[in-house]
Structure 1
């Protein structure tokens, strides 16, 4: 489940609750809500903090460029 989305320039950060899958879908929309590009993505989560046993904060990065 998506909790928060923030934008800094061309970078969007999306925070989500635990249980996020390793597959997702990313879509870029124009100002009118029309889909410019849409892709299925594989997410490689990297844990930074916490422990292997208990988990912890993790990040995954996806880069999407306009054609």
Structure 2
């Protein structure tokens, strides 16, 4: 009787462990997707800032043409 309980427990733990493993992979995939989205947003923001800097709209130290000459 004890042997059946122990075997059932092992099977339950194995199934539980395998289930957590697949969930862990899903979580990793979601985290990777979020990181990729953040990287894309950062790239877009950098592109916007470079466009603004090139047009002279945003410059910390004054007009851009003063630094270029």
Tell me, yes or no, whether TM beats 0.5.
no
**Which range, TM-score by smaller chain?**
under 0.3
What is the TM-score normalised by the length of structure 2?
0.16
Structure holding more strand per residue: 1
Higher helix share: 2
User: Which structure is higher in RCO with an 8 Å CA cutoff and minimum separation 6?
Assistant: 1
State the TM-score, normalizing by the size of structure 1.
Answer: 0.16
Q: Which has the larger radius of gyration?
A: 2
